[in-house]
A and B are shown apart, each in its own frame.
Chain A
Amino acid sequence: MSNILSVMTFLPIVGVLLLLFIPKGSNGALRSVALVTTVVTFIASLPILTGYQTNAEYQFVENVPWIAAGPFAMRYNIGIDGISLWLVILTTFIMPIAVLSTWTAVEDKVKEYMICLLILETAMLGAFISLDLFLFYIFWELMLIPMYFMIGIWGGKNRLYATVKFFIYTLVGSLLMLVALIYLYFLGTKTGITDFSLVHFFDLKIAPATQTWLFAAFALAFAVKVPMFPLHTWLPDAHTEAPTAGSVILAAIMLKMGTYGFIRFAMPLFPEATHQFTPLIATLAVIGIIYAALVAMVQEDVKKLVAYSSVAHLGFVMLGLFALNEQGVTGALLQNLNHGISTGALFLIVGFIYERRHTRLITDFGGLSKQMPIFAVIFMIVTLSSVALPGTNGFVGEFLILVGGFESSLRWWTIVASSGVIFAAVYMLWMFQRVMFGELDNPKNQALLDLNAREIAIMVPLLVMIFVLGVYPNPFIEKMTPSIKKVIAHTRIEPVTTAKVAVPAVAPAAEVAPADHAAPVHPVTEPAAEKPAAH
Chain B
Amino acid sequence: MFDNVWLIPLFPLIGFLINGLLGKKIKNETIIGSIGALAVFSSFIVSVMTFIKLIGLPSAERSVNIKIFTWMTAGTFNADIAFLIDPLSCLMLLVVTGIGTLIHIYSIGYMHGEEGFYRFFAYLNLFVFSMLLLVTGNNLLLMFVGWEGVGLCSYLLIGYYFHKKSAGDAGKKAFVMNRVGDFGFLLGTFTLFWWLGQTHGIWTIQFTELAKNANLFPTGGVVTVITLCFFLGATGKSAQIPLYTWLPDAMEGPTPVSALIHAATMVTAGVYMIARMSYLFIRSPETMMTVAVIGACTAFFAATIGTAQNDIKRVLAYSTVSQLGYMFLAMGVGAFTAGVFHLMTHAFFKACLFLGSGAVIHSMHGALHHVHSHDDAQDMRNMGGLSKYMPMTYGTFLVATIAIAGIPGFSGFFSKDEILWQAFANPLHGSLNMLLWGLGACAALMTAFYMFRLVFMTFHGTCRIKAGAEKHLHESPMVIVFPLIVLAILSMVGGYIGLPKLIGDLVGGIPNYLEHYLEPVFANANAYMQAHTHHGHHSHALEWGLMGTSVVIAVVGICTAYVLYIASPEIPKKFTAAFPALHRAVYNKWYIDELYDFMLVNPCKSLGRFLWKGFDVLVVDGIVNGVAHVVMAFGGVIRYMQTGQIYNYAWSMTFGVVVIIGYYLFK
Contacts and interface: CB of A to CB of B under 8 A. Distances in A.
Interface in A218-235: 230, 232-233
Most buried by A among B77, B169, B176, B224: B77
A294 interface: yes
B604 A327 contact: no
A418 B224 CA distance: 19
Interface in A393-419: 395-396, 399-400, 402-404, 406-407, 411, 414-415, 418-419
B608 A295 contact: yes
A438 interface: yes
B73 interface: yes
A433 to B, nearest CB: 5
B452 to A, nearest CB: 38
A345 B608 CA distance: 25
A298 B611 CA distance: 10
Contacts of A230: 615, 619-620
A480 B65 CA distance: 29
A436 B69 CA distance: 37
Interface stretch (A22-30, A73-81, A112-120, A525-533): A525-533
B176 A437 contact: no
B190 interface: yes
Contact of A477 (B69, B73, B171, B621): B73
Interface stretch (A129-137, A180-188, A423-431, A507-515): A423-431
Interface stretch (A100-108, A195-203, A351-359, A383-391): A383-391
Contacts of B76: 326-327, 407, 527
Contacts, number: 159
Interface in A299-347: 299, 325-327, 330-331
A330 B74 contact: yes
Nearest to B165: A438
B616 interface: yes
Interface residues of B, number: 62
B77 A425 contact: no
Contacts of A399: 141, 186
B394 interface: no
Contact of A421 (B70, B186, B604, B628): B186
Given A298-B612, A406-B190, A473-B72, A438 B176 contact: no
A277 interface: no
A474 B70 contact: yes
Interface in A474-529: 474, 477-478, 481, 527-528
A400 B605 contact: no
B496 interface: no
Contacts of B609: 298
B168 A438 contact: yes
Contacts of A440: 163
B183 A421 contact: yes
B389 interface: no
A439 interface: yes
Given A326-B75, A425-B175, A233 B621 contact: yes
Interface string B146-177: 01110010010001001111011101100110
B620 A295 contact: no
B539 interface: no
Contacts of B172: 429-430, 433
Given A297-B605, A298-B609, A327 B176 contact: no
Given A418-B186, A535-B225, A390 B74 contact: no
A488 to B, nearest CB: 9
Contact of B191 (A294, A406, A422, A425): A406
Main SS of the interface on chain B? Answer: helix
A165 B73 CA distance: 41
Contact of B163 (A236, A437, A530): A437
Contacts of A294: 604, 607-608, 611
B144 interface: yes
Contacts of A404: 74-75, 77
A419 B616 contact: no
B517 interface: no
A233 B199 contact: no
28 contacts: A165-B624, A230-B619, A294-B604, A294-B607, A295-B611, A298-B608, A298-B612, A327-B76, A330-B75, A373-B24, A389-B149, A395-B145, A395-B148, A403-B77, A406-B190, A414-B190, A415-B187, A422-B179, A429-B175, A437-B159, A437-B162, A438-B162, A438-B163, A438-B165, A472-B69, A477-B73, A533-B222, A535-B224
State the 10 A-B residue pairs at the shortest beta-carbon distance, nearest first: A326-B75, A390-B145, A294-B608, A437-B168, A330-B74, A406-B190, A298-B608, A437-B162, A535-B221, A295-B612
Given A295-B611, A407-B198, A421-B182, 10 more contacts: A232-B620, A233-B621, A370-B163, A389-B149, A391-B145, A406-B190, A411-B194, A425-B179, A429-B176, A530-B198
